[in-house]
Amino acid sequence: MTTGNPGADDEGLDLAATEQPVDKPLVAEKPFNPELWHERVRTSVAIVIIGAVIAESLALTIAFVVGAIAASALSAATAAIITPMVGIAGTVLGFYFGTHRRDGT
How far from the centroid of its chain's Cα atoms is residue 37's Cα? 8
- Give the phi and the psi of residue 86 in degrees, each rounded to 5: -65, -35
Average pLDDT over residues 91-103: 73
Tens-digit pLDDT profile for residues 12-64 = 666 666 665 557 667 777 888 888 888 888 889 889 988 999 999 999 999 99
Alpha-carbon gap, residue 24 to 52, rounded angstroms: 48
Confidence category of residue 89, pLDDT binned at 50, 70, 90: confident
